[in-house]
Structure 1
Amino acid sequence: MTWRDRLPQVRGRLLKDEPLAPFTWLRVGGPADVLFLPADEADLAAFLAALDPAVPVTPLGVGSNTLVRDGGVEGVVIRLAGRAFAGIERVGDLRLLAGAGALDAHLAREAAAAGLAGLEFYRGVPGSVGGALVMNAGCYGAETADVLVEARAVTRDGRIVQVPAPEMGFSYRRCARAAAGDLVFTAGLFEGRPDDPAAITARMDEITARRESSQPIREKTGGSTFKNPEGHSAWKLVDAAGWRGRAFGGAMFSPQHANFLINTGEATAADLEGLGEKVRAEVEAQTGVRLDWEIRRIGRPAGAA
């Protein structure tokens, strides 16, 4: 008997050996040992409180910047899906409470409808609120740290906690509290400033047009592959190294945007990660600049025990 035979009772769904590729934008990767789709926050908290603390737990959002390796993910993968985690509601005059499963673009639209400026940038972030909290998501000069009041989360031992924004440990595309691995974010409280809804919507339309003209949003991609090194643009370094539009197995850096790694159709996770590592090595050898991954890579390589 293994830990998978002693899973806690839940009201949501527990799926063993569930393929994860359909849950990621890159459409690659092996199965989760167990995929848990909780019914609501209380179901999640009760499950984590009862789960063997030795079992690894990995939250997965909408998979817009996640690469799952071909050998799958050890332990329990938690995906917050459905109405219980996708709601957005107004709190007072200037704040919105958004579930971790709500899309960033939906949060931007709700803020515009409420006449709250400052969250327009989320219209250009292809992910969910939970992911935005985990990686301090942002674009075009704004980021989550600018608008978050506090996050709501469930701890690994099943406690529901509030984490004020100053305690999140935000830096460029990173949240120290998330990196510690002991929290599953379930919601975020965001604050905007009053403005005319039409003016906010116009700014969002500009972001949408800019994104559509410059990024391969209709490809199987993971968004920005590398973080921008200080003083440099990652896409310029990839382009200068000669990797824009150049195939590597079933993987390629987009001809449209050289920092977007794409699955051209039949790529494996090993193809995609292998290309990324090859480009990192060549850029560092040529320029001395180290590229760090922005795409989150999780799981085991193919054939790993």
Structure 2
Amino acid sequence: MTNFSTLPPVRGRLKSNVALGPRTWFRCGGQADWLFVPEDIQDLAFFLGECPPELSQTVLGACSNVIIRDGGIEGVVIRLAGGFSDIIKDDDGLIIGAATLDVNIAEKAASYGLGGLEFLAGIPGSIGGAVAMNAGAYGGEIVQCLDWIECLDRQGNLKRYPASALNMSYRHSELPERSIVVKARLKATPEDPELIRQKITEIRTAREDSQPLKTRTGGSTFRNPDGHKAWMLIDQAKCRGLKIGDAQISEKHCNFMLNLGKASSAELELLGETVRQRVFDQTGISLQWEIKRIGRNLPVSNKL
């Protein structure tokens, strides 16, 4: 545990031994040694500049596509929240705080008559995470609309990078090392607001019809391999409905894992690895995790 006296004074919230599970969509996982929720960019920049350089840092947003392991996260967890959720119209685009939920961006763009961002209504989570993994859904990807990002480096310096510097590809972005995305500008196209809202409604309906939205889940578990759909490979390997403890592969969409109530993070991760092994044994295809797994494992005897 890092001694509190070594951490700089901040305007935001800084607490020790904070449970992270309730903050994740799966509703499980361990504690943060320290949790820092900065008030704004200036508060975060000061904290980064004054922090001990050896202090481990982990950045979290909406926690929609993450498994936090049962042993928690060492060092300090930085969680971006309200002070990073502004949406500002900027000519043919929007300048957005990194903690802004993707669905809110789609809705705000519609109110401004800016099209091309409707696909964000189909992506759980916040724009900072979406940029970090080049998230996509329903025919759209972040790379198609991203203009630039602003990041704070480990010393608290604010820098801007064009999208072209991120080498974005399918579910992949190369962010500057040890940096934190705090803003992004998305390009859009003027369009009839009613047509935009209609597209958003169609995406929402499609999601509700095909995905287990009203459950403890974390979005798509695995990336689609080239030329394949992950859910089809999982289904063909007879993993639909597979359970380990209270962790289950969804019956409705088998590229989604569910916490039925009391699943541990270890159970969820073991379930995912079991699915990967079964798919590989049957097809020779190695599924790659889309869900990020972070933190410390508990001793083996305490996992399951």
TM-score, normalization by structure 2: 0.96
- Shift of residue 156, structure 1, vs aligned partner: 1.1
Does the CA-based 8 Å contact 1:244-1:255 persist in structure 2? Answer: yes
In the other structure, the counterpart of 2:68 is 68
For residues 58-97 of structure 1, what are the structure 2 equivalents within 5 Å?
A: 58-82=58-82, 84-92=83-91, 94-97=92-95
Matches of 2:299 and 2:56, distance apart in 1: 19
In structure 2, distance between residues paired with 1:183 and 1:58? 10
Trace 1:17-56 onto structure 2 (pairs within 5 A): 17-56=17-56
Residue in 2 that maps onto 1:250: 246
Q: Counterpart of 1:266?
A: 262
Q: 1:156 aligns with which of 146, 154, 161?
A: 154
- Asked if 1:203 corresponds to 2:216, the answer is no
- Answering whether residue 192 of structure 2 is matched by residue 193 of structure 1, we say no
Aligned partner of residue 35 in structure 1, secondary structure: strand
- Within 5 A, what are the aligned runs for 1:117-128? 117-128=115-126
Answer yes or no: is 1:289 the counterpart of 2:278.
no
Q: Does the Cα contact within 8 Å between 1:112 and 1:200 map onto a contact in 2?
A: yes
Give the Cα separation in 1 of the matches to 2:86 and 2:171.
24
SS of match in other structure, 1:235: helix
Instruction: Confirm or deny that 1:145 pairs with 2:143.
Output: yes
Matches within 5 A, 1:206-225: 206-225=202-221
Structure 2 partner of 1:57: 57
Match of 2:106 among 108, 127, 142: 108
Structure 1 residues 256, 2: CA separation in 2 closer, same or farther (over 3 Å shift)? closer
Q: Between the two proteins, what is the percent identity of the paired residues?
A: 47
1:176 to partner: Cα distance: 1.2
The answer as to whether partners of 1:3 and 1:52 remain within 8 angstroms in 2 is: no
Equivalent-residue separation in structure 2 for 1:87 and 1:303 (angstroms): 42
Assess, with a 3 A threshold, how the Cα gap between structure 1 residues 90 and 244 changes in structure 2: closer, same or farther. same
Give the superposition deviation at 1:3: 4.2
Give the TM-score of the pair, scaled to structure 1. 0.96
Q: CA RMSD in A?
A: 1.2
AA partner of residue 71 (structure 2): G
- Counterparts of 2:287 and 2:274, CA distance in 1: 11
Question: Which contiguous aligned blocks of 4+ residues in structure 1 show a shift greater than 3 angstroms?
Answer: 1-5
| Letter of the 1:85 counterpart | F
CA deviation vs aligned residue, 1:96-150 (integer Å, no higher than 9, x gap) = 0111111100000111111111100001111111111111111012110110100
- Measure, in 2, the Cα distance between the counterparts of 1:23 and 1:171: 29
C-alpha contact (below 8 Å) 2:133/2:171 kept by paired residues: yes
Unaligned runs of 5+ residues in structure 2 are none
Matched, 1:172 2:170: yes
* One-letter amino acid matched to 1:41: I
Deviation at 1:194, TM superposition (A): 1.1
Letter of the 2:25 counterpart: W
- For the Cα contact (< 8 Å) 1:254–1:262, is it kept in 2? yes
- 1:175 alignment partner, SS class: coil
Find the residue that maps to 2:39 and give its secondary structure.
coil
> How far apart, in 2, do the equivalents of 1:164 and 1:217 lie?
34
Distance 1:297 1:156 in 2: 22
Q: Secondary structure at the match of 1:224?
A: coil
Tell me the number of residue pairs that the alignment of Structure 1 and Structure 2 aligns: 300
Give the CA deviation at 1:2.
4.2
